[in-house]
């Protein structure tokens, strides 16, 4: 498991979206998640997601917009986070093979002692969550 650390950037923005989702929809959801966490983009280490979205235009645009790297995890790594998810989903599991994307990616990137500060929030075609490194 790869974790990320920085003294001032202690948050990971987990995102999930359907293929072809407009990047502005994902951006607005990401901004809503940051607002709920009470943080700015300057406190984020990375945008994180599932590896099947590593070339998704919306994900790439959002990461570029916030000047952050996009880091992606495979299904097995995300599924290992299931016990820590606040909102596991059988529907997500049926579609992608893990019980969550946004929450799981944020937790996987933030490490074993991380906590979700914003559990999964949703728009019509995307999800977002924020985890804080312990």
Mean pLDDT for 82-96 is: 96
- Could you tell me which of 100, 120, 15, 85 has the C-alpha nearest to residue 57? 15
Q: What is the pTM of this model?
A: 0.93
> Following DSSP, what letter does each residue of 63-84 receive, concatenated?
HHHTT--EEEE-HHHHHTTGGG
Quick: pLDDT tens for 52-63. 999 999 999 999
Quick: pLDDT tens for 61-86. 999 999 999 999 999 999 999 999 99
- Is 128:29 a contact under the CB 8 Å cutoff? yes
């Amino acid at each position: 498991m790869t974790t990320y650390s920085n003294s001032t950037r202690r948050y990971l923005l987990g995102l999930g979206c359907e293929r072809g989702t407009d990047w502005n929809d994902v951006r607005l959801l990401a901004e809503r998640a940051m607002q709920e966490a009470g943080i700015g983009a300057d406190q984020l280490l990375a945008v994180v997601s599932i590896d099947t979205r590593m070339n998704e235009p919306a994900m790439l645009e959002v990461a570029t917009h916030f000047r952050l790297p996009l880091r992606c995890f495979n299904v097995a790594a995300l599924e290992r986070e299931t016990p820590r998810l606040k909102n596991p989903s059988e529907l997500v599991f049926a579609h992608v093979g893990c019980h969550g994307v946004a929450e799981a990616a944020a937790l996987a990137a933030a490490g074993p002692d991380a906590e979700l500060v914003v559990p999964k929030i949703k728009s019509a075609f995307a999800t977002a969550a924020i985890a804080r490194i312990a």
